[in-house]
Amino acid sequence: MNDLFEPLKSATTESVRAQIRSQAYRGHTAGLGGNTLQANLAILPEPYALDFMRYCQRNPKPCPIVGVSDTGNPNMDTLGGDIDIRTDTPAYYIYRDGIHTDTVHDLRNLWRDDFVAFALGCSFTFEHALQQAKVPLWHIENDRTVPMFATSIQTVKSGPFEGPMVVSMRAIPNARVDEVVEISRKFPLAHGGPVHWGDPAIIGIADVSSPDWGDPAPVPDGTTPMFWACGVTPQAAIKNAKPSIAITHKPGHMLITDIADDAETPIYQSR
């Protein structure tokens, strides 16, 4: 299945999404879709939607909202010309009562008239900008998943949604820390500037070589561990809220939108 990955790197956004929709490609989306915004996904029954949307507004670094569907409508019209949220993400996690029970590749049999889909900005956008500035990113160069950690930073509660902020870690050469802060702050819809850098213990991380999610990554001498709010945070909040059903993307397996990653607003203009 992943034989498709290398050719897809140079494919158009539309054709990548077509390969995902047909399930010809079910893999991760890092590096795909050119310079377009990719998004984390959360789908909830409408009775949870207002509280979840307020949770995202109150926690804009981990949960930057880039699109919200109409209730029951699987099309995300503000994010592209033809996006069906039921089929256009390579893999989905199903949570029942807050527990991850299944991983699927198509939601057409699960979709309900009361579902609301949320698309949330993801770190691929600022990583792309860092790569263009020739900042070394170890996990990308070594084809690993970025290391992620639960922290002692609590998110701002909304209704049943609450929990720790989850962060991702990138070890950055000391001389480039200030520049990396500045670059990432330019992407408020992709987690923005780091929430912390330096001593991991200050945000409750006991062992920076042992992540809670993703793969371990080294912090060599001469580098500083930098921590960004991460899109896994809302998955932790959903586990705490325990809705009878909720759906997210599988980490790394994102929705590829038609929005340019340097767009001022994430609103698709049809041509």
Contact residues: its own copies, CB under 8 A? 46, 49-50, 53-54, 57-61, 65, 67-68, 70-71, 78, 116, 156, 158-159, 185, 188, 192-193, 264-267
- Residue 200 Cβ, how far from its own copies at the closest point, in Å? 21
Q: Is 6 or 264 the residue whose CB approaches its own copies more closely?
A: 264
Q: Is 217 or 229 the residue whose CB approaches its own copies more closely?
A: 229
How would DSSP label each residue in 196-221? EES-GGGGT-S-TTS-SBS------T
46, 116 in Cβ contact below 8 A? yes
- Residue 104 Cβ, how far from its own copies at the closest point, in Å? 26
Q: Is 91 or 130 the residue whose CB approaches its own copies more closely?
A: 130
> Using CA atoms, how far apart are residues 163 and 37, in angstroms rounded to an integer?
26
- Residue 185 Cβ, how far from its own copies at the closest point, in Å? 6
Q: Is 79 or 236 the residue whose CB approaches its own copies more closely?
A: 79
> Using CA atoms, how far apart are residues 87 and 108, in angstroms rounded to an integer?
7
- Residue 117 Cβ, how far from its own copies at the closest point, in Å? 11
- Residue 155 Cβ, how far from its own copies at the closest point, in Å? 10
| Strand pairing category for 255-260 and 246-249 | unpaired
Q: Is 163 or 211 the residue whose CB approaches its own copies more closely?
A: 163
Residue 269's Cα: distance from chain center in Å?
Answer: 23
- Token pair, residue 169, equals 């870690």
Contacting residues for 10 by C-beta, under 8 A, at least 6 apart: none
